[in-house]
Amino acid sequence: MTAQITAAILGVLLAGSILYLVRRDHLHGPYALWWLVVAVATLVLGVVPRSIDWLARLTGIAYPPVFPIIVGLSLILLRLLQLDIQRSRQERHLRRLTQKLAILEEELSLLRRLQSGPPVRPSATPAEKKPDTVN
Amino acid sequence: MATVVRGIVRALGCDVLVVNDASTDATAGIAQEAGARVIVLPLRLGAWGAAQAGLRYAVRNGYDLAITLDADGQHHPEELPALIAAHDAAGAAVTIGACPARLSQAKRIAWSYFRLLTGLTVTDFTSGLRVYDRRAIRALASRQASLLDYQDIGVLMLLRNKGLPIHEAPTAMSPRAAGASRVFSSWLTVFHYMVATTVLCIARVGGPVRAAAGGKA
């Protein structure tokens, strides 16, 4: 019976802290939903360990204790994959925003100079550009 | 730096843009003094991120031709008119200023490996001296090109997959006056570069993939 109490305590603690974080707005939008599902799952599996045996029988897993391990690991892997996809997207956004910011900044300072003084210099047709790879 | 900027102005009489990749030394000021426009990236984006910033500047300001060259003095501004002539004659979207003589044995082996892998017939993959026309500028300023890291094979494969012709013209180069190659500085980075580029090649084989969706930065 003690094992069941341990499992229940762990489940309740995890679910509780996730719920707390979601309520405090520390988790945003879709992540909150994901973690709420995780919270409910740990709560159910922790409080009613019999459900694991039932699920294992349902999925044809001969040794029920590995069921939560298999499911948990797969979900973690999927989540990691999704995280990296998101990180790549954010990296793309960050790079483009950085470039745009630099371009707009130059434009702004050019406009300021034109406004306050005589024209700086006329522009020719073909462009020349050189990324500074020294630094 | 000032010599390079003044050399370009003397050779072509065109606008010069220097991209400062988040460095805080006096280089930007010196370049400005020499008559270049300078854009300063607030975060360090690396070689390609800086080059792409320049290409996006070219798109925004409607330039028809963009030349990229390294600011460390290894590319000679006085070679540029000949390079542009070669570019026009070939009708290519991009012309690489190649200097096969400067390649080390290790680089030669690496490049023939990448030629085999990509099917590109380029001898000098990493040359930073390139002429891009309007089509190439548009293609490379796109979001699709934003996750590349170097101005080399990934860039060329993107252009190739869009059906843009790539040309190479021989040119003279000198050893770097300052700084060292980013890629070929230590065996660990070489290994990292080889693996990353191989993955990129394999991922891009077989033509364009739908670009990731998302808002415009």
Separation of alpha carbons B34 and B28, rounded Å: 10
Mean pLDDT, chain A, integer: 82
In chain B, which residues have their Cβ closer than 8 Å to the Cβ of A95?
A: 45, 49, 52, 146-147, 217
pLDDT at A19 over 90: no
Higher pLDDT, B51 or A130: B51
B30: helix, strand or coil: helix
Task: Give Cα separations from A5 to A48, A52, A53, B55, B157 (angstroms).
Answer: 10, 15, 17, 63, 59
The model's pTM is 0.79
pLDDT at A120: 52
Decide if B180 contacts B80 (C-beta within 8 A): no
pLDDT at A128 over 60: no
pLDDT at B165: 93
Which residue among B18, B212, B217 sits closest to A132, beta carbon to beta carbon? Answer: B18
Measured N-to-C along each axis, helices B153-161 and B187-204 cross at an angle, to the nearest 10 degrees, of: 10
pLDDT at B217: 33
Q: Is B126 on the interface with A (CB under 8 A)?
A: no
Question: Which of A3-12, A25-34, A44-53, B174-183 ranks highest by mean pLDDT?
Answer: A44-53
Question: Which of A57-66, A92-101, A116-125 ranks highest by mean pLDDT?
Answer: A92-101
Separation of alpha carbons A34 and A20, rounded Å: 14
pLDDT at B70: 87
DSSP-derived secondary structure letter, B66: E
Q: Is A81 on the interface with B (CB under 8 A)?
A: no
Give the mean model confidence (pLDDT) for residues B162-186: 75
Give the mean model confidence (pLDDT) for residues A86-103: 95
pLDDT at A134 over 80: no
Give the mean model confidence (pLDDT) for residues B142-165: 89
pLDDT at A83: 93
Q: Is A135 on the interface with B (CB under 8 A)?
A: yes
Which residue among A106, A128, A134 sits closest to B67, beta carbon to beta carbon? Answer: A128
Question: b/e map of A89-111 (b: 16 or more CB within 10 Å)?
Answer: eeebbebbebbbbbbeebeeeee
Give the mean model confidence (pLDDT) for residues B32-43: 91
Q: Is B30 on the interface with A (CB under 8 A)?
A: no
Compute the nearest-CA separation of B128 from chain A (Å).
9
pLDDT at B133 over 80: yes
Mean pLDDT, chain B, integer: 85
- ipTM (interface pTM): 0.84
Give the mean model confidence (pLDDT) for residues A27-51: 81
Strands (E), B59-178: 65-68, 94-98, 130-133, 166-170
pLDDT at B216 over 60: no
Residue B214: pLDDT band by 50, 70, 90 thresholds?
very low
